[in-house]
Amino acid sequence: MIVNKIPVFSVIIPLYNSEKHIKNTIQSVLNQTYDSWELIVVDDCSTDNSREIVREIERNDRRIRLITSDKNFGGPAKPRNIGIKSSQGKYIAFLDSDDIWYSDKLDVCLQCFNDSVDVVYHDLVIFGNKRKYFRNKLRGRKLKVPVLEDLLVNGNGLNNSSVVVRHEIIKKVNYIDESKDVIAAEDFNLWLKIASISQNFKYISSDLGGYYVGDNNISSKNMSTCLRFAADEFAKQLSYKQFLRYESIVDYTNGRYLYLNKEYMKSVEYLIKVLSDGGYKIKIKSMYMLCIIYFRRIKL
């Protein structure tokens, strides 16, 4: 085992009622080929057996630390910030409590860091209820400079459980936004804040982990509202044409949510807007949903 007083990586897991998955998630960290890390699990007042599972694992490895709360914070931002502020590592690695990493994840990410890289991220393979997600992988993408514009105009290209960030960069942007308005989009807001001061994002086009999809992952929240709160401040910097592309992403998010929740006619208004100003990929996706709605009406 590598013996370092100060770990290279600090792995942050926000925990809330994840007793079915947290053991496998932590085991995927224990399985890492690179072992200069600390794992900080911040429990957000779980009501199931999650804490006890982590405590049992914690007893057997000094690199693992459980921080508990007596009140629920209502989202992962506060627990993540608590973990980050309690950490010592040079790099912060995010991991959700039901996702996993492959054994070489930290090793590969470390090799990508240098003086001109502040953020590293990669693809994730979907496991669990794949049928509800309609695809087998969450792909990132190589971001174009200026990164801030790319994220706003083309959408979020970073999947949270894949991301590793320099600790000092997170401090510079004043950590993760904890406001309720951005819950579920606080990670995207963080990438935008980082992109406002750094262009140094590194994409690894490899599968280095898994993203769990359960019955509650899809269509449970309309992300268009929190997306606006996360991004509107930065969208003011866009040109008019770029702003229309950004708006089309919000419209697509709204339309897709309504479509998945079977509010088909309400979704049409937003999906049609996307056909006017959206990027190629979301135009295709919007057209597909509109065709399904059209043929459903014919059958009725």
SS3 category, 71? coil
- What value does the mean pLDDT take over residues 260-286? 94
Q: What's the Cα-to-Cα distance from 3 to each of 7, 11, 26, 32, 167, rounded to whole Å?
A: 9, 17, 20, 15, 20
User: How far is the C-alpha of 68 from the C-alpha of 194, rounded, in Å?
Assistant: 28
Which of 196, 167, 190 has the alpha carbon at shortest distance from 178?
190
- What value does the mean pLDDT take over residues 33-57? 97
Residues constituting the chain:
300
User: How far is the C-alpha of 89 from the C-alpha of 166, rounded, in Å?
Assistant: 9
Question: What is the predicted pLDDT for the residue at 3?
Answer: 47
Percent of the chain residues past pLDDT 70, beyond the cut:
94
Report residue 100 as tokens. Answer: 């996993």
What confidence category does residue 74 fall into, taking pLDDT thresholds of 50, 70 and 90? confident
Q: Tell me whether strands 137-138 and 119-128 are parallel, antiparallel or unpaired.
A: antiparallel
- Is domain 9-213 in CATH 3.90.320.10, yes or no? no
More confident residue, 184 or 298: 184
Question: Which residues 6+ apart lie within 8 Å of 159 measured at CB?
Answer: 121, 123, 124, 138, 140, 211
How far from the centroid of its chain's Cα atoms is residue 274's Cα? Answer: 24
User: How far is the C-alpha of 152 from the C-alpha of 120, rounded, in Å?
Assistant: 19
- Rounding to the nearest 10 degrees, give the CA dihedral for residues 172, 178, 184, 187: 10
Q: Is the pLDDT of residue 250 over 90?
A: yes
Least confident of 34-38, 127-131, 168-172, 284-288: 127-131
State the average pLDDT for the chain.
93
Portions of the chain given CATH number 3.90.550.10: 9-213
User: How far is the C-alpha of 214 from the C-alpha of 19, rounded, in Å?
Assistant: 14
Q: Is the pLDDT of residue 1 over 50?
A: no
Question: What is the predicted pLDDT for the residue at 221?
Answer: 81
Q: Is the pLDDT of residue 140 over 60?
A: yes
Which of 226, 242, 232 has the alpha carbon at shortest distance from 154?
242
**Predicted TM-score (pTM) of this structure:** 0.93
How far from the centroid of its chain's Cα atoms is residue 59's Cα? Answer: 29
Residue 85's Cβ-count burial label (10 Å; 0-12, 13-18, 19+) is exposed
- What value does the mean pLDDT take over residues 97-101? 98
